A and B are shown apart, each in its own frame.
Chain A
């Protein structure tokens, strides 16, 4: 079974629109970590955020915000006022305490921001 599901394969938005990328995870651990990474066309994986399972506070960093809800096992990512430079593939990932630092990645959401 897939531990991390990113149901949106591709999303296109017009510049300055807001966009939310969905992430649903599955784990039996009580201690786990959730991540978002950005992969621009150049290929590298850029770390965006990490949350642990005990901290459900939503977080905002500039135009980026994250909504962590344990009740629905979701960790959604919103980009406000999207820009062309936001065009990339975004990955959500899960790390469980009992399996160590191994990451389970979702299949990624390809975001295209149209100028």
Chain B
């Protein structure tokens, strides 16, 4: 168990629908990152939150949004789903907002949510 919890593990939904993926970071970690792993795009960074605030944005579609709550868990909302959104969505957490303090601290990924859009 990595300490990063993602729910649900699997999700099957229809095109046009909206889903919410949830991530609980490792205890003490303030940053949460979302990544998408699809067959055609590989592993791509979507967005980062640090202590409730958006910190960095990657290749996240406008149909997608995220937030981090006061208890530091994060949710990734995917709307108007298309077949191409089928992917494995990973959440990761770390203690800091930037890479500057990383002595021996590793980044921890959750086990992912596999989304299938049919």
The interface of chain A, by Cβ under 8 A from chain B, is 31-33, 35, 37, 43-45, 47, 50, 52, 91, 93, 95-97, 99-108
CB contacts (< 8 Å) of B35 on chain A: these are 103
CB contacts (< 8 Å) of B92 on chain A: these are 103
Q: Which residues of B from 48 to 71 have beta carbons under 8 Å from A?
A: 48, 55-56, 58
- Give the number of A-B contacts (CB < 8 Å): 74
Count of chain B residues with Cβ under 8 Å from any Cβ of A? 31
Interface string of B35-48 (1 = CB under 8 A from A): 10000001111001
A101-B33, A101-B48, A107-B42 given; A33·B108 CB < 8 A: no
* Cβ–Cβ contact B107 & A101, under 8 A: yes
Given contacts A93-B43, A95-B102, A97-B99, could you give 16 more A-B pairs where the C-beta distance is less than 8 Å? A35-B107, A43-B112, A44-B111, A45-B90, A45-B112, A47-B109, A50-B107, A91-B43, A99-B99, A100-B55, A101-B94, A102-B45, A102-B48, A103-B33, A103-B92, A105-B44
* Cβ–Cβ contact A96 & B99, under 8 A: yes
User: B-side binding surface: helix, strand, loop or mixed?
Assistant: strand
Q: How many angstroms between the C-alpha atoms of A72 and B65 in the bound complex?
A: 39
Nearest B-chain residue to A47, judged by Cβ: B106
Q: How many angstroms between the C-alpha atoms of A101 and B42 in the bound complex?
A: 18
A60 to B: closest C-beta gap in Å: 17
CB contacts (< 8 Å) of A52 on chain B: these are 102
B108 to A: closest C-beta gap in Å: 7
